[in-house]
Amino acid sequence: MNTSTWLIRREFWENRAIWMIPAIFGALLILGALFGQVSLPKLTTPEQMYEAAAAYQVIVGAMFYVVMSVYATWYLLDCLYADRRDRSILFWKSLPISDAKTVLSKLLVAMVLVPLVYFAAADATALISAFILSIRARASIGSALWQPDVWWQIQVLWVYCIVTTALWYLPIAGWLMLVSAWAKRAVMLWAVLPPLVAYILERAIFGTYVIGHTLAVRFAGLPYVAFNGAKHVWTEGKGVVDNEGVPVTVWHLINPSGFFTSAETWIGAAVGIALIVGAIQLRTRRTEV
């Protein structure tokens, strides 16, 4: 194994929450499926079943995605700060490992490996709880939740979400790492305060909203850039359909050509790379809080 592999193992040793939080969250959902009240509508048509399976999988996945976002944010803020705070950075820096490798290994964990762990946990939870629900309900819901076609689509959706999230939120991740490598204390405050102050100052002095707008687009804009959502409508009984009323699949929903050709995607990525370079520079200079 090479140095990078060891650095990644190190992250999993230190942050056992990477797999413990999704495991516990999944276990809670499964407990809910086991003991919760099951009252689901009667599904008759294949469209309804398809729709129920898709909705069910998307809801489970979305819950994991939200928890993952919160955890990844916390992880990025802490990852270059924790070892400065307890001075263990002096141990890590006594080893022949470059600061660039250290920083990039942490970025990789936050943006790719943590999402993959949550992806696996969401899949396992959805499958196990669907199995439990189908036994408990004994109704049409049982077969409704077992749609291999839907399951494959969810896999595509997850992978697509991981890739687009990593790219779209790279500037946010870079900013969090920069703060983590720089702040002497109160990393959370330092992450939030400067953009907030810049927003308020801009509004007070120039009366404009460029910073606020840019941040809002960055935080909330991913669905608009990465998905075709606007062209489709939700209809009772048929699920998500296109203009002709035909039910759509994940292939209609995702918009990779739009996402990967959007200027905003690449401007954001460039800003993210610049911030990460900054975090590496700070890492070589700052040893203690």
Partner 1 sequence: MAPLIEARDLTKKYGAHVALDRATLNVEAGRIVGLIGPNGAGKTSALRAILGLTNYEGHLTVLGREPFRDRTALMNDCCFIADVAVLPSWLRVDQAIDFVAGVHPRFRRDRAMAFLAKTQISGKRRMRELSKGMKTQVHLALTMAIDAKLLVLDEPTLGLDILARRSFYDALVNDYMDETRTILITTHQVEEVENLLTDIIFIDKGRIVLDTSLEDVATRFAAVAVTADRLDAARAERPFYERQILGKVVLYFDSVDAGKLAPFGEMHTPSVSDLFVAKLSGGAA
Residue 241 amino acid letter: V
Q: Determine which residue in the list 9, 184, 213, 231 makes contact with partner 1, applying CB under 8 A.
A: 9
Q: Determine which residue in the list 59, 192, 287, 289 makes contact with partner 1, applying CB under 8 A.
A: 287
Q: Calculate the alpha carbon distances from 193 to 51, 175, 188, 242, 281 in Å.
A: 43, 12, 9, 43, 22
45 versus 287: smaller Cβ distance to partner 1:
287
CB 262, CB 164: distance < 8 Å? no
90 versus 267: smaller Cβ distance to partner 1:
90
Pick the piece of the chain touching partner 1 (CB under 8 A) from 10-18, 113-121, 132-140, 215-223.
Answer: 10-18
Length of the chain: 289
100 versus 127: smaller Cβ distance to partner 1:
100
- Coil vs helix vs strand at 262: coil
Q: Output the smallest distance, CB 16 to partner 1, in A.
A: 8
> With binding defined as CB under 8 A, does residue 3 bind partner 1?
yes
Q: Output the smallest distance, CB 182 to partner 1, in A.
A: 15
The residues in 87-116 that bind partner 1, with binding defined as CB under 8 A, are 87-91, 93-98
Q: Determine which residue in the list 10, 232, 238, 252 makes contact with partner 1, applying CB under 8 A.
A: 10
CB 43, CB 52: distance < 8 Å? yes
- Coil vs helix vs strand at 234: strand
> With binding defined as CB under 8 A, does residue 6 bind partner 1?
yes
Residue pointed to by tokens 């990593």: 166
Question: How big is the site for partner 1, counted in residues (CB under 8 A)?
Answer: 25
End-to-end alpha-carbon separation of the chain, Å?
A: 32
Q: Output the smallest distance, CB 285 to partner 1, in A.
A: 6
> With binding defined as CB under 8 A, does residue 261 bind partner 1?
no
Q: Calculate the alpha carbon distances from 107 to 40, 137, 192, 226 in Å.
A: 42, 43, 20, 22
Question: CA-CA distance, 210 to 199, in Å (whole number)?
Answer: 8
Applying CB under 8 A, which residues contact partner 1? 1, 3, 5-7, 9-10, 13-14, 83, 86-91, 93-98, 284-285, 287
